[in-house]
Structure 1
Amino acid sequence: MIIAIIIGCEIGFWVFIALGLTARYLLRRRKLGAVLLAMTPLVDLILLVAAGWDLAHGGIATFAHSLAAIYLGFSIAYGHRMIAWADLHFAHRFAHGPAPVKLTGVAYTQACWADVIRTLFAVGISAGVLTLLIWIAADDSSTGALTGTFRVLGTILVLELIWAVSYTLWPKKDPADAKVPEPKM
């Protein structure tokens, strides 16, 4: 059941974004678009309530509950950025907005380090949600699936950190500056 709710919430998240951007740019109804975009956190609330209710009423903790916690953390931490990304691309495609810029060099490295901070925030939220779910679970013996997820969160954070360090040491080159290798004869 929780997997279906997670899938439904992910679909709902993107539906609210699509409807909000459609209202904003195609229908020229900025206020309606803002309201629809502001509804995206409602999807997170629905997921949190569903996962908590399931565990509080005797549901056995599974990876799906852990996935719900991870989804919530990353949705909250990265949600605004995903909406801004979609807004930029939608505005470019349908409202003659500026073209998205591909980051390279120092700008890309700075974006990677901003993602480390964002991921740290997401991991913290996910860990808090996991702790809440463990606390409200009716069956304490079935929370192993939840407690094991803390290692997954640590791994995600370490991978994000490695990514940022790698681009600090070896910055992403601008395609215009990249040399095309000479063909070997």
Structure 2
Amino acid sequence: MIVAMIIACEVAFWVLLAAGLAFRYGLRMPRTGLLLLLCEPLLEIVLFAVTAIDLKNGAEPDWRHGLAAVYIGFTVGLGHSTIKWADARAAHRFAGGPPPARAPRYGTARAVHEWKVAGRWVVAALVALALLQAAVWYVGGDGDTGSLRAWQVRMLWLIGINVIIAASYTLFPKREPKREPERKPERKPEPAERR
């Protein structure tokens, strides 16, 4: 049941996102579109409630409960940036908005960008870690929490990988390739004027 709920929440996330953008730009109803986009967090609340009820009813905590916590964490950490990304592209495509800004490619600007991306992933992992720890405490010492602890280890690895990637852009910044100076085309001598 938990896996089906996670899949339903993921499908509903994209349906709400598409509907919100369609109302906002296609039907020119920005308030309705914004209202649909603001319904996104309700999906995580529903999934959280279903998972808690499942554990309360005596279900053994397993990988599905851990996956639910991870899904909620990822939606909290990455959902807003995903919505902003899609909104910028829809505004450009359907409402004449400015083209979406591209990520910087070189130097300090790229390092800052990578730290922001890493920050979103770290927030996602920390939320998942907190939910997983809450589930461990909720189950108590009598239950088998090994699968929940395994998810916590994965989240710590995720944090480490993202920090390493961002730090690599800081320590070894990608440099813009040197361009050769443009040569002015040689001017052909004009033929002598006829007299």
The two structures have a TM-score, normalised by structure 2, of 0.83
Structure 1 residue aligned with 2:149? 147
| More moved, 14-23 vs 110-119 | 110-119
Distance 1:60 1:173 in 2: 52
Letter in 2 for 1:94: F
Whether contact under 8 Å (2:66, 2:148) holds in the other structure is yes
Is 1:92–2:92 an aligned residue pair? Answer: yes
Structure 1 residue aligned with 2:164? 162
Distance 1:54 1:93 in 2: 43
Deviation at 1:108, TM superposition (A): 2.4
Letter in 2 for 1:116: A
Deviation at 1:123, TM superposition (A): 2.0
Structure 1 unaligned regions, length at least 5: 180-185
Distance 2:46 2:146 in 1: 24
Q: Which runs of 4+ in 1 moved over 6 A?
A: none
Distance 1:178 1:154 in 2: 39
Structure 2 residue aligned with 1:66? 66
**Matched length:** 177
Structure 2 residue aligned with 1:46? 46
Go from structure 1 to structure 2 and tell me whether the alpha carbon gap of 1:99 and 1:136 turns closer, same or farther (over 3 Å shift): same
* Same amino acid, percent of matched pairs: 37
Structure 2 residue aligned with 1:183? none
CA displacement 1:59-83 (0-9 Å, x = unmatched): 1212111111111112112211111
Distance 1:18 1:144 in 2: 38
In angstroms, what is the RMSD of aligned CA positions?
Answer: 1.9
Distance 2:66 2:31 in 1: 36
Distance 1:66 1:47 in 2: 12
CA displacement 1:109-166 (0-9 Å, x = unmatched): 2121122322332222111111222233388332211112111111000010111012
Deviation at 1:57, TM superposition (A): 0.7
Go from structure 1 to structure 2 and tell me whether the alpha carbon gap of 1:9 and 1:162 turns closer, same or farther (over 3 Å shift): same
- Of 120, 128, 131, the match for 2:130: 128
Letter in 2 for 1:28: R
Whether contact under 8 Å (2:122, 2:162) holds in the other structure is no
Distance 1:160 1:112 in 2: 9
Deviation at 1:91, TM superposition (A): 1.2
Whether contact under 8 Å (1:55, 1:61) holds in the other structure is yes
SS in 1 for 2:58: coil
Is 1:115–2:117 an aligned residue pair? Answer: yes
Letter in 2 for 1:61: P
Deviation at 1:25, TM superposition (A): 0.3
SS in 2 for 1:153: helix
The two structures have a TM-score, normalised by structure 1, of 0.87
